[in-house]
Structure 1
Amino acid sequence: MRQNLQSTGRLRPVDLAREHGLSTQAVRNYEDAGILPAAVRTPSGYRAYSPRHAGALRAFLALVPGHGHRTAAAILRAVHDGAAGEAFRLIDESHAQLLDDRRTLRAVEDALRDLDSTAPTRPAPDAPRPGDTFIGPLAAALRIRPATLRTWERAGLVRPRRDPQTGYRVYDEAAQRDARLTHQLRRGGYLLEQIAPLIRQVRAAGGLEPLEATLREWHGRLTDRGRAMLAGAAALDAYLSEPPAAAPPA
């Protein structure tokens, strides 16, 4: 690519593609999508790119890991439309989402820590099995209404079984754990649809202790995303700092 640039001042789609292991069709698609500035055409109809196109492609590919393909594309389109403010707004939204994800992780960790320090709900005297309890005692222990537990059940967050003799809801230790975790997160302001994925993870892991590895991975993903956003910002800043280039010779 460097030799081609030095000799002609013009870059072909294959020159941009090779630098990043892309196909030439991908480069053309990026131009068509507005991710790259429009290329000039040679008299024979071939696309002619410049170092500025190479900078745009580097910026886009650097933004993708932290912001995702759709947002990264929207950022570059906004830049090329002369709407830098919109590009920065999109970047701010991604950072706000990352911060919200960090707060969610902290709330989850706090909830799990509180569960570890909470004594198990004492079962009602007539509970079918040791450790099991009914809706009234569980609601009282959590200081909520039984109707709230029924709402959580309809949302799939708590899964009591039914006593075959009486038809009453019976909450075993796993159901009580799910109810306590839901309660902690609701107190933190989280919606039921935000809590549901965590409850599924707890069930899949078979309890709270196996979630330690999941939480470590979660921390790692957020850290990687934050670093990727920094790298993307640096690449975008380098692109924005480039002076507008003259059209490459045909």
Structure 2
Amino acid sequence: MRYLRPVDLAREHGISTQAVRNYEQDGCLPPADRTESGYRAYTATHAAALRAYLALLPAHGYAVSGQVMRALNTGNADAALSAIDRGHAQLLRDRETLDAVEVALEDLAQSAGLAPQPPTGAKEFSIGELAHRLGVTAATLRNWEQAGILVPRREPISGRRSYGADDLRDAELTLLLRRGGYRLDHICTIVEQIRTAGGTQALHAALGDWRKALTTRGLAMLSASVQVARYVELLGIDAPGAARSAPRAR
């Protein structure tokens, strides 16, 4: 069996040997065997694990990528696949929201600068219902309101918030742009442009940038799936949740 040194793994990816050791310590690589003198002895399995982890990063981020690798390295393929599935589901949701916002912009243009009005009798949401629909907390919605992004209707006596169709549109857009790294003050300006139809150039630019980001992430997911599949094959996992053996050096 041919053993690899930390520098051998690091050189392939242009990273430091300390990074390789850190990844092993964090559970993103399976534990390495040791030579008689105490040096780490990696194998082709570790090399494949590193390729999988580094491919996962641009696709799913550090937290999820680590979760996936730690699950695989302990033989829990179900947990790894579930984490990957959630990432794909979120990407699809972002694409659908982006499509909906672009359709709203087309409607604005066709209505000569007038924002589309919600249909009569359209459903209104409480703060809890809207938070559940978006997958955020009520405190997040209150923060968006404080930033001027959301303007819910308030009951005159109870003070309860009520969100209509326009609020849902603005909240969906805010959620999308927040994932794209936009600040609340910038999002407030964009949402105000939709409300007043006073020019949507900044919004078009933001949505264009985010579509590129979604495409980049989708392609990264494809690349990551290839590397993860190769690693799973080396681990000898027959089916989700069943591993032949622990992912030690072979």
Matched, 1:53 2:34: no
Alignment of 1:153-232 (within 5 A): 154=146, 156-157=148-149, 185-188=166-169, 190=171, 194=175, 198-201=187-190, 207-232=199-224
Report if the CA contact (8 A) 2:55-2:224 is conserved: yes
Q: Which amino acid aligns with 1:31?
A: E
Say how many residue pairs are matched.
197
TM-score (structure 1 length as normaliser)? 0.66
Deviation of 1:55 (Å): 0.4
Instruction: Report the CA distance between 1:106 and its aligned residue.
Output: 1.2
- 2:80 is aligned with 1:99: no
Aligned partner of 1:35 in structure 2 is: 28
Corresponding letter in the other structure for 1:212: H
Identify if the C-alpha distance between structure 1 residues 33 and 107 changes in structure 2 by more than 3 Å, giving closer, same or farther.
same
**Aligned equivalents of 1:114, 1:184: Cα separation in 2:** 14
State the Cα RMSD in Å.
Answer: 3.6
The structure whose Rg is larger is 1
1:80 and 2:61 correspond: no
Which SS does the other structure have where 1:90 is aligned? helix
The letter for the 2-side match of 1:186 is D
Identity %: 45
TM-score normalized by the length of structure 2: 0.66
Q: Which residue of 2 aligns with 1:134?
A: none
**Gaps in structure 1 of 5+ consecutive residues:** 1-7, 122-137, 160-181
**Contact conserved, 1:34 with 1:77, CA < 8 A, in 2?**
yes
Letter of the 1:68 partner, please give it: G
Matched, 1:114 2:110: no
2:231 pairs with 1:239: yes
Residues 243, 88 of structure 1: CA spacing in aligned structure 2 closer, same or farther, 3 A cutoff?
closer
Alpha-carbon distance in 2 for matches of 1:212, 1:192: 12
Q: Provide closer, same or farther for how the CA distance between residues 143 and 194 of structure 1 changes in structure 2, counting only shifts above 3 A.
A: farther
2:45–2:231 Cα contact (<8 Å) kept: yes
CA pair 185-86 structure 1, distance change in 2 beyond 3 A: farther
Aligned-partner SS, 2:213:
helix
Q: CA deviation at 1:190?
A: 4.2
